[in-house]
Chains A and B, each alone.
Chain A
């Protein structure tokens, strides 16, 4: 099975595929398609969700879902941007239970609201942490380059 071919066939132009190397592929998708693409990778192609990274940018929070294909020596990172100021996206926990803690952490660190998550409670931050304070949000975006979603 060729993973990239499967993704191209299924999603066509909805998935903008960047092959960085034999082991590293980055797939950019719109927010609306993100859940479908990740579900397909997990349920049909057999990927494992290794972790998700959230990065604060000027226009939104860039979400990177690192999906490991252990039988193919490949990590496919699905990239999407959750727009500010709404910062909402549907939860993945109904498809991938492992997303539970992952989304809780991104919620408390960056303020993204995962709609439908069973319980977005505090995970790592102390109980008395100020609500509305997100440690990973940048206070300023200094240079032009910093803070742009990755091309």
Chain B
């Protein structure tokens, strides 16, 4: 029951960046309902895309999200190529795959750090983000930038990986593998993390199917989907890797899947670097035909899908963009109801809403509609629960 007064919304915790607004309604300590208000980040990109050329749109969609910045170009160029069946050179497919998997590693490490902070393990945050740096260095070596790599174009990729650089890249990726393995073992074997995350925030398989969730959120609930295996593209049908699927649907499963996927990503990158075929990296496309196309990519958060309709001009007539979080964020409601507010921050983060959403969280009392706790306080509650467990 409400005792406290209204606290101005605005949990501006330095680690919680972005403007979406999660509202948790409580009775006592228990969450009875939840809402999310999105739109703070809406920049009208789909509409903007119609007034920019296909080449410009690749750069535009890269900036939909900073973390999966290659995922949207990956899906978009494939949608454009799907319109008239453009064949991309083999070497370009392999390079695309390498970039996509490097991104998966950096994104998952980022998430592990964030989740670690929420639980109160700041060393996990520091480690994960520290070990992200070599991945960003590899990006910089290949593309010239740590983030927003500008590697994709319709018909191929914009930059090549030089033969002379391959040995040093292989060495760097082996080091990445070393600490991914170490981090995975450390996190998955830790009894406190297990106690803190197992059985929490469960998304049942039936709900996951009805909500058409994607990515690690789906795979944690026993849904066996991964666009890389199910709708193969780029070089994914040429490399061996495992689909990581678990059955419990809890926060632990979601974390474990992400960690184990980094190891699979290293395998893929290594195989692609070793087998990189010779040849051109660009089909040198001059025009997009009339028609429509669909492109899909398994981003770190799940399926990204783009649909493009072309009237033959340089500008897309319609460009539909769907990020994985659009399907996954609604599932948070199913996973928090019935849980304690001490777990709210963690469960929300487990959906991995593109890191954008967990800032604006608020707890509201059911009867009086008064705000009881801000996002910063919710994170502190989450950390305190861990401390009590350790004692």
Contacts and interface: CB of A to CB of B under 8 A. Distances in A.
B38 A124 contact: yes
A92 B140 CA distance: 46
A101 interface: yes
Contact of B303 (A50, A122, A124, A145): A50
Contact of A24 (B39, B47, B82, B212): B82
B326 to A, nearest CB: 6
A146 B317 contact: yes
A68 B307 CA distance: 13
Given A48-B225, A97-B210, A124-B42, A71 B230 contact: yes
Main SS at interface, chain B: mixed
A49 B44 contact: no
A21 B322 CA distance: 22
B4 to A, nearest CB: 26
B307 A64 contact: yes
B327 interface: yes
Interface in B227-261: 227, 230-232
A101 B326 contact: yes
Interface string B215-232: 000000000110100111
B311 A146 contact: yes
20 contacts: A26-B292, A50-B322, A66-B305, A70-B227, A70-B231, A73-B231, A74-B231, A75-B294, A75-B296, A96-B210, A96-B212, A97-B211, A98-B211, A98-B212, A101-B330, A125-B39, A125-B42, A135-B44, A136-B46, A145-B311
Interface in B254-281: none
Contacts, number: 82
Nearest to A101: B330
Given A66-B294, A73-B230, A98-B212, A126 B39 contact: yes
A123 B305 contact: no
Contacts of B224: 70
Q: How large is the interface on B (under 10, 10 to 19, 20 to 34, 35 or more residues)?
A: 35 or more
B327 A98 contact: yes
Interface in A98-151: 98, 100-101, 122-126, 135-136, 145-146, 150
A96 B212 CA distance: 8
Given A70-B225, A73-B230, A136 B47 contact: yes
Interface string B39-81: 1001010110000000000000000000000000000000000
Nearest to B293: A24
A94 B330 CA distance: 16
Interface in B302-339: 303, 305, 307, 309, 311, 317-318, 320, 322, 326-327, 330
